[in-house]
Structure 1
């Protein structure tokens, strides 16, 4: 059973694509390949966990998957800010991606709150 709107799923897929583009753009500039992997892993994990939430078997499972999305978005935001602070990419290129992180965090947190509120009734 699909729980999420196709528009949200596409939005997150686009976010993942943009994170991968950032990872590819910094691969020759950062001091360690592990950093590139961390950026790519955290950013794409958002998409994987959202798609898992879309097929969740229960409301608790749905909230758990969204909770992982929130954590991975927060980690992705950390890496984006680190990349900008160190000058590996222009901040102007990273700002829209960080803004998308913040927007998605608000959306997912609101979804978790609303789902848990319904469960308490």
Structure 2
């Protein structure tokens, strides 16, 4: 499997989400929001990994777009956990900043592939 910053960062993020999920369940006895966070937060990396095995550039873009949406959803759950006082401000800031970085990387990657597709099409 080709190594990439996007795959490495999304996997590291998923591991952070897993640790946060355990903390929320064990220490805070919060199960509903943390489950949603776990599902969306680990789905990001899974979709990125799947994108690298895509059948086409369009498939690659589609999988990265799903990962982008999952990142947005994950950010929403983090906001709710923070605003409902399950996450302290410093805990929230740290992981939320990582999610923002993923969004930027995904957006840039999608844009780059779209530009590559456009550039390779013959002018009519």
Same fold (TM over 0.5): yes
Larger Rg: 2
CA distance in 2, matches of 1:43, 1:29: 19
TM (norm. structure 1) is: 0.88
TM-superposed deviation, 1:36? 2.1
- Give the length in aligned residue pairs: 117
TM-superposed deviation, 1:34? 3.0
Partner of residue 15, structure 2: 17
TM-superposed deviation, 1:56? 1.2
Determine if contact 2:33/2:81 at 8 Å carries over to the other structure.
Answer: no
Unaligned runs of at least 5 residues, structure 1: none
Q: Residue 52 of structure 2: which of 46, 51, 54 is its match? A: 54
CA distance in 1, matches of 2:101, 2:53: 22
RMSD: 1.5
Q: Which runs of 4+ in 1 moved over 3 A?
A: none
Equivalence map 1:2-13=2 (5 Å): 2=2, 5=4, 7-13=5-11
Determine if contact 1:63/1:115 at 8 Å carries over to the other structure.
Answer: yes
Residues 44-92 of structure 1, C-alpha deviation per residue, up to 9 Å, x if partnerless? 0001001001111110000000000100000000111111111112120
Determine if contact 1:16/1:47 at 8 Å carries over to the other structure.
Answer: yes
Partner of residue 35, structure 2: 37
